[in-house]
């Protein structure tokens, strides 16, 4: 059902670009008329849609040299387990929304992916989690940002969607809402993993090295900042005034951890099409290592990192600031809706052309209501996988299988 993982981005990009160029305004009339008819009737596709699920576990600089065989095998096993959890829901005739949450919960519970248990640490040594969920059939959506005590943020996003009149809740308020719905808070220590803690220490050292003035002989050494204890109350170091024209959050420039080879970012997500032909999308993340000032990325922002409607569902991963400014998830679905582009071409144009030109790194997983799948990424790797009706999971990490 799904296209091969060896989809060559550049060839696809050419195809996508060509399709865009071949859609002159004069040809838009029939497309427009068709779309308007579809909007009026929400006409279901003629062929019964195939169903399935696609997941990602983050995109970035992922190289074979930096990923030990043991870690790779463990990550592939978790991705497979997530696919099977979602498939079990869909095979029973369950909703795409349930399949997406089931798959994401598995990834959140794994220490290998930057979400839930494996979340990265922010600048103050705290894990702050973001998540969003969207139902393509109804366009109901729920999102949470900056939560610190929620074991499975995707479940809280769902509660926001189903048990509140709102779309997005943040921080303490979101956690108070969780409690009001009977969801327990977990100790912040639950999110501690040694790998992520060491990742923060290296990011802090890199940041300090970059900021340090060149050493002049005879200059006394700079004062060391106090060590931060994991799970401790956040310490807010006094920040120097921002230099005009330079982002004060410049510590969020993409970088690679020299030990794990991981990017400073990562995320998990899922999109699914159920037997009824309904799509859903969800995304969950710890954001970017060393983030500060309450930074929130694209993952919980509907239309940026997460989006689903009746035609198209997208979950993104990458440098969130770009995905927000280019409303990546909605842009892909808008191209499907307004330009009548096949989903893979729409996704390729946005990820491999628009974002590349902008300097935004990352990728998406996407599905349309006919079961077509796209998984383009403009980084060296993206943890990803898909499963269709036959229940055979397929997992990939690098540019090849």
Residues known to be catalytic: 267
Contact at 8 Å (CB) between 178 and 105?
no
Q: Is 86 in the site for ligand ASP (CB under 6 A)?
A: no
Helix (H) or strand (E) holding 178: helix 171-180
Q: What are phi and psi of 194, to 5 degrees?
A: -60, -40
Contact at 8 Å (CB) between 94 and 85?
no
Residues 320-339 that bind ligand ASP (CB under 6 A): 320
Q: Is 266 in the site for ligand ASP (CB under 6 A)?
A: yes
Stretch that binds ligand ASP, among 143-151, 205-213, 282-290, 349-357 (CB under 6 A): 282-290
Q: How far is the CB of 57 from ligand ASP (least distance, A)?
A: 10
Q: In what order do the strands lie in the sheet with 373-374?
A: 306-308, 312-318, 362-368, 373-374
The DSSP-derived string for 98-139 is HHHHHHHHHHHT-TTSSSGGGPPP-TTS---EEEEEEETTT-
Q: Which of 288, 332, 333, 397: binder of ligand ASP (CB under 6 A)?
A: 288
Q: Is 297 in the site for ligand ASP (CB under 6 A)?
A: yes
Q: Which of 305, 344, 371, 388: binder of ligand ASP (CB under 6 A)?
A: 305
Strand duo 268-273 + 279-285: pairing: antiparallel
Q: What residues contact residue 395 under an 8 Å CB cut-off, 6+ apart?
A: 76, 79, 80, 83, 384, 385
Q: Which of 101, 110, 122, 285: binder of ligand ASP (CB under 6 A)?
A: 285
Q: Is 380 in the site for ligand ASP (CB under 6 A)?
A: no
Q: Is 287 in the site for ligand ASP (CB under 6 A)?
A: yes
Q: Is 307 in the site for ligand ASP (CB under 6 A)?
A: no
Q: Is 378 in the site for ligand ASP (CB under 6 A)?
A: no
Quote the strand ranges of 30-120, DSSP E: 52-60
Q: Helix axis angle, 153-163 relative to 171-180, nearest 10°?
A: 70
The reply to whether 384 sits in an annotated binding site is: no
Alpha helix stretches (DSSP H) within 183-226:
194-211
Q: What residues contact residue 344 under an 8 Å CB cut-off, 6+ apart?
A: 3, 7, 12, 16, 372, 373, 374, 376
The reply to whether 295 sits in an annotated binding site is: yes
Q: How far is the CB of 132 from ligand ASP (least distance, A)?
A: 11
Q: How far is the CB of 144 from ligand ASP (least distance, A)?
A: 13
Q: Is 302 in the site for ligand ASP (CB under 6 A)?
A: no
Q: Is 299 in the site for ligand ASP (CB under 6 A)?
A: yes
Q: Is 49 in the site for ligand ASP (CB under 6 A)?
A: no
Q: Is 317 in the site for ligand ASP (CB under 6 A)?
A: yes
Q: How far is the CB of 387 from ligand ASP (least distance, A)?
A: 22
Q: Which of 12, 151, 251, 267: binder of ligand ASP (CB under 6 A)?
A: 267
Stretch that binds ligand ASP, among 154-162, 285-293, 342-350, 368-376 (CB under 6 A): 285-293
> What does the binding site for ligand ASP look like in residue numbers (CB under 6 A)?
58, 265-267, 285, 287-288, 297-299, 305, 317-318, 320
Binding-site entries: 295-298, 317-320
């Amino acid at each position: 059902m799904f296209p091969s993982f060896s989809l060559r981005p550049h060839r696809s990009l050419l195809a996508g670009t060509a399709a865009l160029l071949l859609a002159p305004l004069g040809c838009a009339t029939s497309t427009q008329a068709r779309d308007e008819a579809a909007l009026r009737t929400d006409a279901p596709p003629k062929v019964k849609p195939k169903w399935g699920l696609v997941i990602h576990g983050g995109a970035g600089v992922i190289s074979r040299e930096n990923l030990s065989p043991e870690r790779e095998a463990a990550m592939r096993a978790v991705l497979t387990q997530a696919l099977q959890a979602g498939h079990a829901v869909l095979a029973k005739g369950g909703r795409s929304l349930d399949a997406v949450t089931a798959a994401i919960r598995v990834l959140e519970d794994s220490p290998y992916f930057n979400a839930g248990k494996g979340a990265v640490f922010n600048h103050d040594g705290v894990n702050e989690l973001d998540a969003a969920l969207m139902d393509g059939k109804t366009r109901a959506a729920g999102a949470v940002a900056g939560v610190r005590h929620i074991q499975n943020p995707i479940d809280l996003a769902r509660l926001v969607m189903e048990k509140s009149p709102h779309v997005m809740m943040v921080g303490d308020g979101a956690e108070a809402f969780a409690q009001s719905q009977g969801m327990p808070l977990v100790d912040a220590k639950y999110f501690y993993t040694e790998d992520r803690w060491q990742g923060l220490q290296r990011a802090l050292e890199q940041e300090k090295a970059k900021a340090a003035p060149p050493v002049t002989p005879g200059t006394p050494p700079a004062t060391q900042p106090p060590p931060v204890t994991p799970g401790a109350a956040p310490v807010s170091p006094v920040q120097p005034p921002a230099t005009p024209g330079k982002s004060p959050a410049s510590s969020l420039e993409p970088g690679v951890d020299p030990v794990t080879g991981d990017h400073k970012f990562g995320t998990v997500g899922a999109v699914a099409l159920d037997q009824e032909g309904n799509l859903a999308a969800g995304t969950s993340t710890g954001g970017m290592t060393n983030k500060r000032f309450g930074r929130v990325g694209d993952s919980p922002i509907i239309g940026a990192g997460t989006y689903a409607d009746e035609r198209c569902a997208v979950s993104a991963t990458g440098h969130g600031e770009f995905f927000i400014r280019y409303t990546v998830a909605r842009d892909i679905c808008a191209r499907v809706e307004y330009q009548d582009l096949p989903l893979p071409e729409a996704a390729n144009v946005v990820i491999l052309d628009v974002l590349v030109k902008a300097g935004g790194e990352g990728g998406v997983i996407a599905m349309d209501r006919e079961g077509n799948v796209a998984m383009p990424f403009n980084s060296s790797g993206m943890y990803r996988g898909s499963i269709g009706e036959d229940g055979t999971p397929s997992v990939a990490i690098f540019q090849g299988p």
